[in-house]
Amino acid sequence: MQTIKLKEIKHRGKFQIAAFFPYNRTLIELCKEASMVYSKTHKCWYIENNAENYNQVKTKFYGQADIDETELLAVNSEKLNLSTSLILPSTPLRNHRIVSTLRTEIKSEKMEGYDKREVPKEIADGLYKLKQWMAHKRYSESTIKTYLDSAKSFLMFVHPKPLQDVSNDDMVDYVNEYIIKRRLSFSYQNQAVNAVKLFFREIVKSKLDVEKFERPRREYKLPNVLSKAEVAAILKAHNNVKHKTMLSLIYACGLRRSELLYLKPTDIDSKRGLLIIRQAKGRKDRIIPISEKIIEMLRRYYMMYKPKVWLFEGQKVGEQYTAGSLQEVLKQSLEKSNIKKPVSLHWLRHSYATHLLEAGTDLRYIQELLGHKSSKTTEIYTHVSTKNIQKIKSPFDDLNL
């Protein structure tokens, strides 16, 4: 198995997690999936050094390569004076203010060398059967990979316990000793529960009562929304026609990142003013109206770049534009427009939905445009729409002060 060396470098004025390895197409694709960007200067793939990104990179490379992170862990643990096993999502690893409250160590002997253990044949065979079963059921490639990674994590945790003897208590131990101590997210825990339930229900067919696996309490987070002025500033920041068109199309049609990257020139029906999204999340097709303004922008882009396979292609003809490069395009826009918020591409989709709602568009239509399976998913935008909230008068205004 190939070795990836993780180090910290300073690049573009920030401390980055850098991945060094000999040329390997599979590992390069994993870097792109982890939103890493290639540096010609340092001859490596990199992403900003924080715990959330660290988790993301480790998850992508786990089981695909041997990870040498000695230098990276030494730097991060020295800066925070923490155990090298501690991972704190969304927390900059160089933030000294959190040191006093976070002097925690993972002492579980069970976790020592956990990431470097060889996968036993029983587990490998079981995961292969799970992969075959999911492929037979036409799960998407990304879902298959996610479930395999999650199931593997749990199975390696309980090993060498025979699979037929695994109990619900093992899931409790896994959550406490692995997920919680590593500060992994609610969604990661929920994903792990789903994967393990599927594995034991369909592959092992043990007496384990998977229906009693407890999911974490659901988080209720409001979507991040930009004002129309902020969206306009982001979209106007780029002079590059391709970059401007990509970001504009995401906002104008409320697209997911993957939906934009998988568009083909034939998906644009300019005569009917429609954009066709094919086999998006949940393997669903949908159509979205596009204005003449966007169509003209797309025509100008098409005349300049003449894409062959994908609507937005990389430097090579027929090569799909990467998620990491698209994220870099947004990052440059934020810097040029001097917007300090931690905006992601999904913020543009949230903003599209919220602005439609504020303009009076029926929630049922917004659900169709976004491709939501449940109306409850779409209803969250009613909590961030300011159309009616701003009309509410505070009783403070009536006080005679």
**Catalytic positions, please?**
256, 281, 346, 349, 372, 381
Side chain identity at 118, as an amino acid letter? Answer: E
Per DSSP, the residues of 140-153 read: -HHHHHHHHHHHHH
Indicate the SS3 state at residue 265: helix
Indicate the SS3 state at residue 174: helix
CB atoms within 10 A of CB 47: 21
Are β-strands 3-11 and 66-68 bridged in parallel, bridged antiparallel, or unpaired?
parallel
CA atoms of 231 and 195, how far apart (whole Å)? 38
Q: Which residues contact 118 (CB under 8 A, 6 or more apart)?
A: none
CA atoms of 217 and 190, how far apart (whole Å)? 9
Secondary structure of 304-327 in the HEC alphabet? Answer: HHCCCCCCCECCCCCCECCHHHHH
Whether the ω angle into residue 160 lies within 30 degrees of 0, i.e. cis, is: yes
Q: Which residues contact 2 (CB under 8 A, 6 or more apart)?
A: 21, 22, 24, 27, 65, 66
Q: Provide the token pair at 276.
A: 């066709």
CB atoms within 10 A of CB 158: 19
On whether the CB atoms of residues 8 and 75 are closer than 8 A, the answer is yes
